[in-house]
């Protein structure tokens, strides 16, 4: 199982939200590049980079942060937040992202994603299913997407999408453990799905549970910044599985 630290960006700074609430924001570092370098120095090779300003605005805002991290580290980066047009996909890939992270646009305009998958290839997209009570949320988690997670995933899989992550908003930033049962249900419904867990990962035991559940990866955010999970522990877990 791949361990993927998250860097969420607001106004160019590394922050975390609780339950996706922009009013419950905590800034952890003024320089996301320094955070990314610390991850890389610890042996981590994958980064989940989220432009929260972009997600809220509906257009990419913190492009410069992606460019800086991509040019000054060797990390594989998935970047999302505000990607709405083909030109946005081209922009983030040109800036050095390995994958474009797609959320709201996949719900609002699924045919667009079908076209992008055909043009750029499935391995260039990390499809996010952000859920609250198993229903998809969009626009930085601020609006109801009008579709449940299973219907959404079924549609994306039919288009050829291969890489997914699912965030339970009720767990995100709360450090109360992940929605392991939800992930088990998804994997049972779609055997062989490449699913990364996101939200609530707090302890080493959480990581072991997600691995047993069949998750391909786990995104970790607040637990790192608050010191619940150290980079040494994460690296140990990563090396143990290699």
SS (H, E, C) 60-104: CCCHHHHHHHHHHCCCEEEEECCCCCHHHHHHHHHCCCCEEEECH
State the catalytic residue, choosing from 8, 51, 78, 168: 8
Out of 53, 78, 88, 130, the active site residue is 130
Cα radius of gyration (the chain): 16
Catalytic status, residue 168: no
d(CA 95, CA 70): 7
Spatial neighbors of 78 by CB under 8 A, at least 6 apart, are 4, 46, 47, 48, 49, 97, 98, 99, 100, 101, 126
- Alpha-carbon span 28 to 167, nearest angstrom: 21
Active site residue 181: no
Report how far residue 117's alpha carbon sits from residue 132's, in angstroms, rounded to the nearest whole number.
26
**Active site residue ranges:** 8, 130
């Amino acid at each position: 199982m791949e361990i993927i630290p998250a860097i969420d960006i607001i106004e160019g700074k590394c922050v975390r939200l609780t339950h996706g609430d922009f009013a419950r924001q905590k800034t952890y570092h003024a320089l996301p590049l320094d955070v990314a370098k610390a991850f890389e120095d610890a042996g981590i090779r994958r980064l989940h980079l989220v432009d929260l300003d972009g997600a809220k605005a509906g257009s990419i805002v913190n492009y410069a942060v992606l460019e800086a991290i991509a040019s000054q580290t060797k990390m594989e980066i998935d970047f999302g937040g505000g990607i709405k047009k083909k030109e946005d996909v081209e922009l983030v890939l040109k800036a050095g992202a390995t994958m474009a992270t797609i959320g709201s646009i996949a719900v609002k305009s699924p045919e667009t994603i079908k076209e992008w998958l055909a043009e750029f290839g499935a391995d260039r997209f990390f499809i996010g299913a952000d859920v609250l009570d198993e229903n998809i949320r969009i626009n930085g988690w601020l609006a109801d997407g009008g579709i449940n997670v299973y219907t959404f995933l079924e549609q994306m899989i039919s288009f050829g999408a291969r890489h997914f992550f699912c965030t339970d908003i009720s767990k995100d930033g709360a450090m109360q453990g992940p929605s392991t049962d939800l992930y088990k249900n998804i994997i049972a419904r779609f055997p062989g799905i490449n699913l990364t867990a996101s939200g609530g990962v707090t302890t080493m035991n959480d990581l072991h549970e997600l691995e047993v559940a069949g998750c391909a990866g786990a995104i970790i955010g607040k637990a790192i910044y608050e010191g619940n999970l150290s980079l040494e522990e994460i690296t140990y877990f990563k090396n143990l599985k290699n």
